[in-house]
Amino acid sequence: MPGTFVFKSLKPMTRRDFLARSGAVSTLLVTSRPASAAAQPQVGIPASAKPLFVSTWPFGRASNEAALKVFQAGGSLLDAVEQGIWVTESDAGNGSVGLGGIPNAAGVVQLDACIMEGVGHRAGSVAALEGIRHPISVARRVMEKTPHVMLVGEGARQFALEQGFEQGERVSPGREKAWKNWKAQQDAKRASKPKGHDTIALVGLGPDGHLCGGCSTSGMGYKLPGRVGDSPILGSGLYVDDEIGAAGATGIGENVLRYCGSYQVVEYMRQGLSPQDACLETLRRIAKKDPKGFDLSISFIAIDKQGRFGAAGTGSGFQYSVTFPGTSVVLQSPGLTAKSVGPIGGNRPPVK
């Protein structure tokens, strides 16, 4: 039977807190289902509570809240997603997004981003973009002003300059100092492992039922110059289908890229799974095929056209942000490990 749960606090909380607390801020609908090893409560918002914004990580909450303000001030859903992501791109303290991010192995920050809207299945993307403050906006301009979907490297930079986009340092002084220290410590015979691989992926659902999404990152820290992860690749770091829903990814991009992860999440929703179960099933499918099993460091967020949302990650899961009128919270997603689900490919709900 359906039940109604409400938030009492806007502070970060665990999933258990979220399901247990009640108050007067705003309602979320949670539908119970028969218990199984993979079954999770299905969470959504009333139709009257839209727009809904869901993003990766606790830092996504500020982006969600900015997106909501843009929409409530009369901006389009696409405007809201774009300008919400600006907040994280502008955060100099964020080592994974924007020009404040960790540079590549050559000491330069290379940015990746994409944006997609459900109406018309339009999309734009940029990769390995240097010295431009808001790559998400360049991606949108690629979508709206060119016959292309993706521009990369110096071509993307020249396009951004021609379009008048704001420039910035190719690496911040603080990150450059850290890079020099890293460079000095390298063994000539063995490169150290790259570090840092988070992303701002933000998906939105409007009151009219239309969907949009965006994704932006500075990529894996100390990566090889020219390396591109999943974030600007449609179907990997982000995918939006106006008939079904939207999904975004974060983590080690190579592990998402090889399986078109966000596209798979949306396709599982098309088959009837809830957003959260679609995220979990995608992780299971990847882990079943990948030699690393569940040691993948990847996570997904998702929303569907009905206003349900969810997320899941390998290991212990990850925190993601949810915002709609009257409510803005950080939630803990379920994790997925061999111990938590048993043998890969085993106990799971049937997929239609």
pLDDT digits (tens, 9 = 90+) for 147-180: 999 999 999 999 999 999 888 776 666 665 565 6
Is 345 inside any structural domain? no
- Give the per-residue pLDDT at 230: 97
In-domain check, residue 45: yes
CATH of the domain at 301: 3.60.20.30
Domain encompassing residue 82: 2-334
Determine the pLDDT at residue 201: 98
| Predicted local distance difference test score (pLDDT) of residue 292 | 85
Dihedral angle over CA of 319, 325, 327, 329, nearest 10: 10
Q: Which residues of 323-339 are buried (b: 16+ CB within 10 A; e: fewer)?
A: bbbebbbbbbbbbbeee
> Does the annotation count 199 as an active-site position?
yes
Please check whether residue 342 lies inside any domain of the structure: no
Which of 27, 56, 88, 199 is catalytic? The answer is 199
Does 339 fall in a domain? no
Half-sphere exposure of 207 (CA within 13 A, CB side): 11
Q: pLDDT digit string (tens) for 53-91?
A: 999 999 999 999 999 999 999 999 999 999 999 999 999
Q: Using CB atoms within 10 Å of the CB of residue 237, give its burial: 0 to 12 exposed, 13 to 18 middle, 19+ buried.
A: buried
Q: Is residue 166 part of a domain?
A: yes
For residue 151, count other CB atoms closer than 10 A to its CB. 24
* 187 vs 261, higher pLDDT: 261
Q: What is the pLDDT of residues 295-344, one digit of tens each?
A: 899 999 999 999 999 999 999 999 999 999 999 999 999 999 876 654 44
- Domain assignment present for residue 348? The answer is no
**Residue 276 main-chain phi, psi, to 5 deg:** -70, -45
Cα-based distances in Å from 178 to 189, 230, 252, 288: 21, 25, 21, 38
Could you give the number of structural domains in the chain? 1
Q: What is the pLDDT of residue 172?
A: 64
For 5-57, the pLDDT digits (tens) are 333 333 444 434 433 333 323 345 544 333 333 444 567 888 789 999 999 99
- Bridge partners, residue 31, by sequence: 2, 42
Amino acid at 23: G
What's the confidence (pLDDT) of residue 295? 87
Record the pTM.
0.83
Helix (H, G, I), strand (E, B) or coil at 120: helix
When the pLDDT of each residue in the chain is averaged and rounded to a whole number, the result is 83
- For the segment 218-224, the average pLDDT, to the nearest whole number, is 91
341 belongs to a structural domain: no
Residue 317 domain-assigned?
A: yes
